[in-house]
Structure 1
Amino acid sequence: MDLSTGLPFWLVKNGLPYDYPQLNKHINCDVVILGGGITAAINAFILIEADIPCVLIEKRSIGLGSTIATTALLQYQIDTPLSKLIELRGEEHARKAYLLCAESIETLANISEKVGYHDFERKSSLYFASYKKDVDMLKKEYELHKSLGLDIKYWDENKVKEKMGFSAPAALYSDHSAQIDAYKLCHLIFQYCIKKGLKVYDRSEMVDIIHSKSGVAMKSIQGHKVNCKKLIYAAGFEVVDLIDKKIVQLQSTWAIVSQQIEHKKEFWHQNCLIWESKEAYLYIRTTADNRIMLGGRDEETNNPKVRQGKLELKTQQLADDFAQLFPNLRFRPEFSWAGTFGVTKDGLPYIGHYEPKPNGLFSLGFGGNGITFSVIAAEIIRDILLEKANPNEAIFALDR
C-alpha cells in the first residue's frame, strides 16, 4: 500500500539517519512487532522498558510508511468531540479516552527525554469554531473538558480577534499539547531500544502469516521463517485487510510546509497549534527551524494516483486557506505531500485481541491522534503480555 505521495518535509530534513539489517535467517522468539513507524517504535519502547524481549520486522525502510507523512500535532482532543463521544460510547469510556490522551503526551515527553530527542515542544492548542452553528458545541466542550481538570479557556469572537488576529465565532484555548518530528523520534527510539536488546529488521516483508493456539508462524518474502508466541500488528493501515469487519475508512490528507521565515519568531499567539471544528478541518503548526506547516483538504480516497494528481491543486488551496487566516504572513510553499489516514466510527483506535487471529495483538492508532493512541495501545499490550488486567482495553476493543 502506498501510504504517501509527494515530498514529505521530514524525509528531506532528516534523510536516512540509520541503517538496519534485512532479515537473513530463521527466527524463533516470544514476541514479534510487525511495523517500522512511530507506532511500532512506541510499542517496542514500552515492551523493552518492561523487560519483554521482542523482535521488530518492517517491510519498508524504517519510518518510510505513514510516519514520514504525519504532521505530528499531539493533542488530547480527539477528532470526535467529547460531547459526541459520550453519546456514542457512554460517559465513563469517553471521559477516560480523553484523559488517556492527555496522559499519553506526558509519556511521550518522558520517552523523548530518555532516547535523546531534544525537539519535543510543549504547545498550547486553539480549536476554533468554523461556523456560528458550532458555538454551542464549543461551549459544551468547554464545560466538559474543564470538568476533567484540564486547563482550558473559552474565547469569544472578540478574544479570538485580539489574540490571534483572525475572526472566528468562538474558540477553545488549552494546554496539554505538543509537537514533534515523528520520523526523527522514531529512529531515536529504535536506536535506544537496540542498545537494550531489540532486534530490528527492515526491507523484510512477512507473508503466509498463520495464527494458531500455540503461536504465530510466518515467513519473509525472501523465504526466512519466523515463529513467535505473540505477534503485535503495529503496521497501521497495512493490516486493515486482515480484519473481517469494516473498522476504518481510509482517506487522504494533504500537507504543505513553508520556506524558512527568518524575520519572525512568533507568527501568532505563542505559535500554538491551530485546528477547527468543521469536517476535513485545517490544522496548523510551526517547526523547530522556523517554518509553518499546515494540512487538511481531506478527501475520501486512498488512491495514490488521485492523491498525486491533486497535489498541485491542494497545495494552492491550503496556501489560500492560510492566507485567509493570516493575510499579513507571506506563505511560500517549499514542500508538499499527501498521506493516508483512517477514520473510525467513534474516532477511537482499535487495540488488543481479535478472536479470529489467536495470539495476535493489534495496535491500530487510527484518526488524528494516532501517535497518542499508540502510547495507549502499547501500555495495554504490555499489560496483556504481562497477564495484568488493564481496564482501558474495553474502551478500544476490536469487538466493540
Structure 2
Amino acid sequence: MDLKSGYPYWAVSNGLMYAFPRLEADARCDVAIIGGGVTAALIADALIEDGHEVVVLEQRDIGWGSTAASTALLQYESDVTLGDLARQYGLTEALKSYRASAETIGQLEALSRRLRDVGFERVHSVYYASRAWHRRKLRSEFDLRAEHGFDVEWLGPEELLERFGFRAPAAIVSTPAASIDPYRLTHRLFRALQGQGAQVFDRTCVERIEPSARKVDLVTGDGLRVRAGHVVVAAGYASQQWLDRRFASNRSSYAFISDPLDPDVLASLRRTVMWETARPYLYLRTTPDCRVIVGGEDDAVDIPARRDGRVGKKAGKLMEKLSGLFPQLQPLIPAFSWAGTFAETKDGLPFMGANAQWGPRVLFAMAYGGNGITYSMVGRDLIRAAIKRRQHPLAALYSFDRMR
C-alpha cells in the first residue's frame, strides 16, 4: 500500500538513519510485530521492557510509511470533542480517553530524554473557532474541560491577536501538548531496542498469518516462518488488509514545510500547535529550526496516482489559508510538500486489541485519527495488558466490539 507521495520533510532531512536487515531465516519469539513505524516502535519498547523476545517485520524501510508523512502534533484532544465523545459513550468513558492521552505527553517527553535528539518540544495547543457560529459549541467544550480539571484557557478575538498574531472569533488554549520528529523517534528507538535484544527487520513482507491455540505463525513472501506466542499488527493504515470488515475510511491529507523563517517574525507561533473547528481542518506547527509545517485540505482520495497529482495544488491552497491567517509570514515558499494516507474512524478513536476474526493471540494496534502518536502511547499499555491477560481501563472503549 502506497501511503504517501511528494517529499516528506522528516525523511529528507534525516536521510536513511540506520540500516536494518531483511529476514533471512526462520525465527521464534514471544511477540512478533507487523509494521515498522512509530506505533510498532512504541509497542516494541513496552514489550522489551516487560522482558519479551520481540521480532519486528516491516515491508518497506523502517519509518518509511505513514510515520514519514506525519506532521506529529502531540495533543490529548481528539478529532471528536470531549463533549461529542461523552454524548456517544458517556462522560466517564470520554474522560478516561482524554485523560489517558494527556498523560502520554509526559511519557513521550521521558522517552525523548532517554533517546535524545528527537525534536521533542513542549507547546501550547490552540483550538480556534473557524466561524463565528462555532464559538458557542467551542465555549461548551471549554467549560466541560475546565470543569473536569483540564488545563485550558479561553481567549477572545483581541487576546488571540495579541498573543498569537491571528484573528479568530475565539479559541481554547490547552496544555499539555508537544511536537516531535516522528521519523527520528522511530529510528532511534528501534536502534536502541536492537541493543536490548529486539530483532528488527525491514523489506520483509508478511503474506500470511496462521494462528492456533498456542502460537501464531507468520509466513513471509520468501516463504520464511516466524513463530510467536502473540502477534501485534501495527502496520498503520495497511492493517485493515488483515480484516474482513472495514472499521475506518482511508483519506488523504496534504502538508508543506517552509524554509527557516526569521525568529522574530515567527515569535508568536513558536512552541505552538494550532487547529480549527472546521472539518476538514487546517493545522500547523513550528519546528526547532523556525520552519512552519502546515497541513489539511483532506479529501477522500485513496488512489496514490491521483493523490500524487494533487500535492502541488493542495499546497497552494494551504499557503492561501496560512496567508489569510498570518499575512506577516509572507512571502512564504514551501521547501517540501507531500501527502499521506490516514484512516478516519467514525468516533475518532483507535482500535486496540484482539479481533474475533483472528482470536486472542493476534492483537491489533490501529492508532487511527488525528493524534495517532498519543493513541499509540495509550495503546502500548493496552497491548501489553492483553498479552498479560490483565484488564485495561480503556480496553472496552478501544475494542472492535464497540462498532457492533
Fold-level similarity (TM above 0.5): yes
TM-score normalised according to structure 1 size: 0.97
**1:376 corresponding residue in structure 2:** 378
Number of equivalences = 400
| TM-aligned CA distance change 1:111 to 1:265, over 3 Å | farther
Asked if the contact 1:99–1:148 (Cα under 8 Å) also holds between the matched residues in 2, the reply is no
Question: Retained in 1: the 8 A contact 2:38–2:67?
Answer: yes
In structure 2, the residue matched to 1:311 is 311
Q: Secondary structure at the match of 1:245?
A: coil
| Corresponding letter in the other structure for 1:80 | V
The 4+ residue runs of structure 1 with deviation greater than 6 A are none
- Alpha-carbon distance in 1 for matches of 2:302, 2:240: 13
User: Counterpart of 1:243?
Assistant: 243
Partner of 1:348: 349
Q: Which moved more, 1:55-64 or 1:164-173?
A: 164-173
Structure 1 match to 2:124? 124
Residue identity opposite 1:352 in structure 2: G
How far is 1:118 from its partner? 4.9
Report the Cα offset of residue 334 of structure 1: 0.8
Bigger shift: 133-142 or 207-216? 207-216
8 Å Cα contact 1:36-1:202 kept in structure 2: yes
1:265 and 1:290 in contact (8 A); partners too: no
Moved more, 348-357 or 235-244: 235-244
The residue identity in structure 2 corresponding to 1:373 is: Y
Cα distance in 2 between the residues matched to 1:207 and 1:339: 24
Partner of 1:41: 41
Whether the 8 Å contact between 2:118 and 2:180 is mirrored in structure 1 is no
CA drift of 1:33 comes to 0.7
SS at match of 1:387: coil
Distance 1:332 1:218, change over 3 A: same
Which residue, out of 366, 385, 394, partners 2:368?
366
Alignment CA distance shift 1:344-1:209 (3 Å): same
Find the counterpart in structure 1 of residue 55 from structure 2.
Answer: 55
Q: Deviations over 1:108-154 (max 9, x none)?
A: 11111122235210000110000112111111111111123221101
Match of 2:113 in 1: 113
- Cα distance, 1:166 vs structure 2: 2.0
Partner residue of 1:211?
211
Please list, as runs of the form range in 1=range in 2, the aligned pairs for 1:185-264 lying within 5 A after superposition.
185-262=185-262, 264=264
Compare 157-166 and 26-35 and name the one that shifted more: 157-166
Distance 1:196 1:71, change over 3 A: same
Distance 1:277 1:69 in 2: 23
Residue 320 (1) aligns with residue 320 (2): yes
Could you tell me the percent identity over the aligned residues? 37
Partner Cα separation in structure 1 for residue 83 and residue 251 of structure 2: 24
Q: 1:391: which partner in 2?
A: 393
- CA distance in 2 between counterparts of 1:384 and 1:168 reads 44
Tell me how far apart the structure 1 counterparts of residues 265 and 113 of structure 2 sit (CA, whole Å).
24
Q: CA offsets, 1:331-355, max 9 Å, x none? A: 2111000001111011000000111
Instruction: Name the amino acid aligned to 1:369.
Output: N
Deviation at 1:269, TM superposition (A): 4.7
Q: In the aligned structure 1, how far is the partner of 2:52 from the partner of 2:220?
A: 23
Name 1:85's counterpart in structure 2. Answer: 85
2:335 aligned partner:
334
Partner in structure 2 of residue 295 of structure 1? 295
Amino acid at match of 1:96: K
- The 1:31–1:272 alpha-carbon spacing in structure 2 relative to 1, beyond 3 Å, is same
Distance in 2, matches of 1:261 and 1:152, equals 29
TM-superposed CA distance for 1:192, in Å, is 1.2
Residues 42-73 of structure 1: CA deviation (Å, up to 9, x unaligned): 00111111222211111111000000000000
What SS class does the counterpart of residue 401 from structure 2 fall into?
coil
Q: Is the 8 A contact 1:204 1:221 kept in 2?
A: yes
Structure 1 residue 270, shift from structure 2 partner: 4.4
Q: Distance in 1 between matches of 2:41 and 2:120?
A: 16
| Structure-2 separation of matches of 1:263 and 1:102 | 29
Normalising by structure 2, report the TM-score. 0.96
Q: 1:354 and 1:271 mapped to 2: Cα distance?
A: 39
What residue in structure 1 maps to residue 170 of structure 2? 170
1:104 Cα deviation (Å)? 1.0
Paired position in structure 1 for 2:146 = 146
Residues 156 and 169 in structure 2, CA contact (< 8 A), matched pair in contact too? yes
Q: 2:163, 2:132 → 1: CA distance?
A: 19
What CA RMSD, in Å, does the superposition of the two structures yield over aligned residues? 1.3
Instruction: Name the CA distance, whole Å, in 1 between partners of 2:353 and 2:304.
Output: 30
- Alpha-carbon distance in structure 1 between the residues aligned to 2:196 and 2:77: 33
Give distance in 2, aligned partners of 1:239 and 1:211: 17
Report the Cα distance in structure 1 between the residues aligned to 2:16 and 2:44, rounded to whole angstroms: 20
Structure 1's unaligned 5+ residue stretches are none
- Look up the equivalent residue of 2:371 and give its one-letter code: N
| 1:394 counterpart SS class | coil
Are 1:3 and 2:3 counterparts? Answer: yes
Distance 1:22 1:91 in 2: 47
Q: How big is the shift at 1:263?
A: 5.1
